Amino acid sequence: MSVISKVSAPFKLAIVGSGPAGFYTAHRLLKEWPNTQIDMFDSLPTPHGLVRFGVAPDHPEVKNVMSTFDRVAEDDRFRFFGNVTIGKNISVKELSNNFDAILLSYGASEDRKMNIPGEDTYGVASARNFVGWYNGHPDYTDFKLPLDDTDTAVVVGQGNVALDIARILLTPIDTLRKTDITEYALETLSKSRVKHVHVVGRRGPVQVSFTSKEVREQMSIPGVQFNADMNFISKEITESQSIISKNRPLKRLMSLLEKGSPTKEADKSWTAKFLRSPVEVLKRANENRVNGIKYEINRLEGPLDARKAIGTGEFETQECGVILTSIGYKSAPIEGIPFDSRQGRVPNYLGKILNGKDELPGMYTAGWLKRGPTGVIVSTMTDAYETADTIVDDLKNGKPMLAPKGDDLTKLFQERQIRPVSYLDWKKIEAAEFAMGEKLGKPREKFCRIQDMLAVL
């Protein structure tokens, strides 16, 4: 173990994951501990995590944070190593031989499952797959969904990702053409026959995880009407008045749901369906293809601010050809690091990784891996700053860090035939994407295969 206590002392940090959590931690540390050297690693040749592969293509303003990340990367004290998977190409143990500390901010790369019969039927997919596909994530380029073979899709879950999906399925194709959505997704979506999207929650309208801006946008998609049991919405809002009146964002959100959409009697619709828990995926006769979904009908129990869905023992079926599960992402453990599989995160106190009650010297976490897969970019920033402050406090207080031996990662890259991608390399890839986009009249056309990205270099 080493101890670094003087502000002038050099401090070498490895960051695993180049999403908002990694970049905002780097941003704060470079400011607060000037003698910091940061090496950031990402599995993909492209940085920025879910800002590139999660944020919807029709929300370009959200992606402006990339310019903040560019400024961090321009700092001489920062280096990017894309195309390097920690835990596969290089182990955490090997990293610890090279750095005073390691920050794990590798996000949530798995899905929560419904765990119901038929979940593996063709036509069922997770939000992560679908979003990764339309956003050009190299792992999902070959993803398929029978959108040309059904007019009804069900999205399970009532969070903002569910709304992103419903909006992408229902937005006029010419609107999407002006975004950075991948060309192959445009091609498939242009042949989609989906007209009705049911966004299904196990609890009621007061418990949805949508935010107002997203619901307002959903209510304004041209040519798309909103369906819901409006009497039920009103009844639930009235019953929960005591909590709604004290919570302004919730009040705004409820008034949007009560008001609905100005579009009436359109041939496309989105429906908010409440009190339904999927229990089975129904298949076409003799075919591994989705034909519908069976729900158990729930009722709500418990205090108003912690309502629970309780099955009534009554069931209902609905015909559909596509089911997208949007019930949350999930982080995966990495070898040698404690992991709380119940909560799906690395145990920590203010970002310092814990092994039981003990702090692991020099080991930190931030972002979705630190607190679970919820929160927008701004909350990820706040959380990353908290971890950066913990690191700075530990340095100031002379807390033990790792004991680097000064091994050379370059040698490991050569031995293992890894071709790391620097930030300068990434900017070349990005320039090529902008150029392809310009030809197509869109902001950028993403490379979706790693070999195509590397071919630019």
CB of 107 to ligand FAD, least distance (A): 3
CB of 314 to ligand FAD, least distance (A): 33
Of the pair 164, 445, the CB lying nearest ligand FAD is at: 164
How far, in whole angstroms, is CA 451 from its chain's centroid?
24
18 binds, among ligand NAP, ligand FAD, none (CB under 5 to 8 A by kind): ligand FAD
Structure tokens at 114: 């419904």
19 binds, among ligand NAP, ligand FAD, none (CB under 5 to 8 A by kind): ligand FAD
Token pair 């050297």: residue: 37
Task: State the Cα–Cα distance between residues 437 and 440, nearest whole angstrom.
Answer: 5
Angle, in degrees to the nearest 10, between helices 212-219 and 160-170: 20
157 binds, among ligand FAD, ligand NAP, none (CB under 5 to 8 A by kind): ligand NAP
Contact residues toward ligand FAD (CB under 6 A) are 16-22, 41-44, 49-50, 54-55, 59, 62, 85-87, 105-107, 109, 131, 161, 164, 329, 367-368, 375-377, 380
Token pair 């009436």: residue: 264
202 binds, among ligand NAP, ligand FAD, none (CB under 5 to 8 A by kind): ligand NAP
41 binds, among ligand NAP, ligand FAD, none (CB under 5 to 8 A by kind): ligand FAD
Residue nearest to ligand NAP (CB): 159
Task: State the Cα–Cα distance between residues 90 and 60, nearest whole angstrom.
Answer: 34
Of the pair 344, 373, the CB lying nearest ligand NAP is at: 373
CB 262 within 8 A of CB 223: no
10 Å CB burial of residue 389 (0-12, 13-18, 19+) is: middle
CB of 113 to ligand NAP, least distance (A): 8
Using alpha carbons only, give the angle 56, 58, 62 rounded to the nearest 5 degrees: 65
Contact residues toward ligand NAP (CB under 6 A) are 112, 114, 156-162, 164, 201-203, 207, 209, 214, 277, 326-329, 373-376
* Cα–Cα separations (whole angstroms), residue 440 to 103, 153, 170, 353: 39, 29, 22, 46
CB of 410 to ligand NAP, least distance (A): 37
CB of 56 to ligand FAD, least distance (A): 6
CB 311 within 8 A of CB 332: no
How far, in whole angstroms, is CA 128 from its chain's centroid?
7
Token pair 């790391």: residue: 420
CB of 3 to ligand FAD, least distance (A): 28
Of the pair 164, 430, the CB lying nearest ligand NAP is at: 164
Task: State the Cα–Cα distance between residues 68 and 57, nearest whole angstrom.
Answer: 19
CB of 18 to ligand NAP, least distance (A): 18
87 binds, among ligand FAD, ligand NAP, none (CB under 5 to 8 A by kind): ligand FAD
203 binds, among ligand NAP, ligand FAD, none (CB under 5 to 8 A by kind): ligand NAP
Residues 6+ apart with CB under 8 A from 27: 68, 72, 384, 388
Task: State the Cα–Cα distance between residues 208 and 199, nearest whole angstrom.
Answer: 11
